[in-house]
Structures are given as structure tokens and as C-alpha cells.
Amino acid sequence: MKIATYNIQNIFYRDRVLVKKYREENEALWVEEFEALMLQGIRTTKEFNRMRALSQLLGFEDSQNSPYLTMSHKRGQLFLKKNIAAREYKATHLTDWNGWVKLNSKPIDDTAINNKAKVIKEASPDVLILIEVEDRASLLEFNKHFLSEAYTHILYLETNDVYGRGIGVLTKKGYRVISMKSHVNDFDENGNPIFDMDLQEYKISTPSGTIVTVLSTCFLDDTANPVQSNAKIEIQSKRIAQIYQTIDTSDDLVAVVGTLNTPSYSKLLSPLTEETDLKDVSKHNTFEVDLDKGKDSKYFRLGAYKMGVNIKQRDYLMLSTELYKAVKNSGLIRKGIWYKKQPQWEMLKSIKNELHIASEHPLIWSQLKIS
């Protein structure tokens, strides 16, 4: 059995607030790079292309990020995301008219969508947990047109997220989700939802009938309110640890997966890392990942996955003792991530600039000796 978790950061469209946040976080680096290129006397074709990409990212050429969709004088329907099968865009109303409608989401670049699929296909897991998915329809369309219908069972549950991001689980033939449970309605002592998004429990049956329990979640990282954000992460960690301890399974085959947005050494995760038997698969001796290029390949950054893999750990595949013993091999795929300055690593050749990234997160996988 091969299991993987991937924060895909939406498939076909993403909330404009999240797109804006990403641009604001990277603006200083883009300005610095653009100014350096401007000061060069002679520029190569590659450098001119980079300047064009930067001008779009910085908003100088902002047609792709316009908050309005111009509607043409046609009959049909209004699509706020790409119709992959038809490969066309339609806009209309009850009668023919020209006008505009304000959009809350931005379509994701076609190249980026293809790169999301490339990352998943390289891992080709039997059980795939996708974080930050916009809806079930997108999952079905993505599986059909980009994953060659590799997954026969597709499930999706909405969460508490204000931007409409949910969690999906996809399984190949022979693997079935026999039960699901959501914790969106778990409340703290003040009556507020404990989970930013959700904690979802899946009981998954393998072809041989073995049952594996998977808990999937996503903690949000609120950089504007770090104290409040840290307190929330600790509360969520404690709740997951409590639920983990009560799971009724004879073989203790349990995985906790998702985006925790905190390095493993953080005390905020101690309920999971110190008060349970869960083990991070990135610490397993089989954990494979392409090392950083240059001097970074011999460097270990505190909070990174391992020596020579110097990206901040935000995503986890944690296994119970019995499941950890069943690990045959494991690894991380970050070819779909765009590096900023240092460290650098191998990227998909189709990624020419930040618009093409599959996600800001790596895919983490583990092959388990379970049939």
C-alpha cells in the first residue's frame, strides 16, 4: 500500500485573498530581482522573459488578475472556472447583454494544473489525501482529465475554512473508504470550532481486507496574529492526540497526515510528537528526496525535513508504531515548488516562473508492507 498526502492549494481556481497573500509575501524578492535586471546593460532572452514574468507577478501586466470578468454577447452559461472537457469559456445571461461580474476567485494557470498532476503521477499512490481542494466536482474533473481516471473512489468533505477549501481522499481499485467522520463540529470551551479546517477520519480497506485508519487535517498559519495562531495550533494538536488515543483498531495501523504549518521541534506539536507513539516518516531511514544543489546539500537548517533538504517542514505523514514498522520506503517530491533564492533543487522543466508552480508544498509518500 502506498499512501501520500499533498496540499495541492486548489486545483482549478483559488480565492483571490489567498492569491493576494502569496503575492504580498514574495513582492520584496520580486522587486529586488526586477530592479537588478533593469540595471543590467545587456540582457539575454532568458532574462527578458524573466522580466516579463516579474512584471505580471508585480501587477504591471495585471490582465490575468483583474477582479472582473468581461461577458461577451453570446448564448450559454457563465463559467467561473475552466471547462476542461469543452476547452472554451462562455458568458451570458437570460438575454444577450454585455457587462461585467466581480469574481471572488482566480483561475489557476493551465501549466500549473498540469504540474499538479505530474507531481501526483510521479508518486502514484494507492491512497491520496489532498488538502485545500475547492470542491468535489473539481476532484472528479481533475481525476478524469489529468490523472487518467487512476482513482476509482473519490470522496470530499467541506470544512470550516472561510475560503471554501476542503479535503479530498482518492483511492485506487481495491482500496475503499468504508467509513468517514468529520470533526468540524468539535467546539472548544468558548463554543468556537477547534479546527481551522477539519479533522477527518477515514477507515480504508486494502485489497486483502486490512483496515488502515487515516486522520487528515490542516492548521492555518496566521502570520498577522502569531500568538493567537500558535495557541490555536496547540489546541488542535491536543484534540488530535485525544482522538488518536481513542481509535478502536486491533492492529493500531493509524496515520496522521496533513499540513500542520509548524516544525516538528515546536512545543505546539508536542501532544502529537511526544505524548503519542506517532513517528514522522521523514525521520525514517528510507526517506528519499533529491538534495539541494550546491553548498546547501551539506547543510541542515533547523526546522527543515533533513540534512540537504532545507525547506521548512509544514507537511506531515505521521505513523503509529505498527505502521512505522511496515514502512518499505518513503520520500518527498518537491519538483513542483518554485525556489526563491536559496536553497535550490530540481524543478519540473515545465515550471518557467512562479505562475507555473504546482503548489508551495511538497508531496509526501510512504510505501507500506501492507497488501
- What are the extents of the domains in the chain? 2-14+109-368, 68-102
pLDDT score for 65: 52
C-alpha dist (Å) from residue 232 to 98, 162, 261 = 47, 16, 12
Distance CA 139, CA 154 (A): 8
Check residue 89 and give its pLDDT: 47
Neighbours of 241 (CB within 10 A): 19
- Radius of gyration of the CA atoms of the chain, in A: 22
Reference 320, options 371, 277, 269, 365; nearest CA is 277
CA atoms of 227 and 170, how far apart (whole Å): 35
Look at residue 109 in the predicted model and tell me its pLDDT. 92
**CA 221/CA 142 separation, integer angstroms:** 27
The pLDDT score that the predictor gives to residue 2 is 98
| Strands of the 211-218 sheet, one edge to the other | 176-182, 199-205, 211-218, 254-259, 315-319, 279-280
Question: Which three cell numbers mark 166?
Answer: 476542503
How do the pLDDT tens digits run along the chain, 371 residues long? Answer: 999 999 999 999 999 889 888 777 777 777 877 788 888 878 888 888 878 887 877 776 555 555 555 444 333 444 444 445 544 445 555 444 455 555 678 899 999 999 999 999 999 999 999 999 999 999 999 999 999 999 999 999 999 999 999 999 999 999 999 999 999 999 999 999 999 999 999 999 999 999 999 999 999 987 777 788 899 999 999 999 999 999 865 568 999 999 999 999 999 999 999 999 999 999 999 999 999 988 888 888 889 998 889 999 999 999 999 999 999 999 999 999 998 777 899 999 999 988 899 999 999 999 999 98
- Which long-range contacts (C-beta less than 8 Å, at least 24 apart) are formed by 134-140? 134/10, 134/11, 134/12, 134/13, 134/14, 134/105, 134/164, 134/165, 134/166, 135/164, 135/166, 136/168, 138/10, 138/11, 138/12, 138/81, 139/11, 139/168, 139/170
Q: How far is CA 307 from the centre of its chain?
A: 23
Query: How many other β-carbons are positioned within 10 Å of the β-carbon of residue 235?
Result: 17
pLDDT of residue 81: 45
Query: Looking up cell 495541492, which residue turns up?
Result: 8
- Maximum distance among all Cα pairs of the chain, rounded to whole angstroms: 70
pLDDT at residue number 251? 63
With respect to CATH, is domain 2-14+109-368 assigned 3.60.10.10?
yes
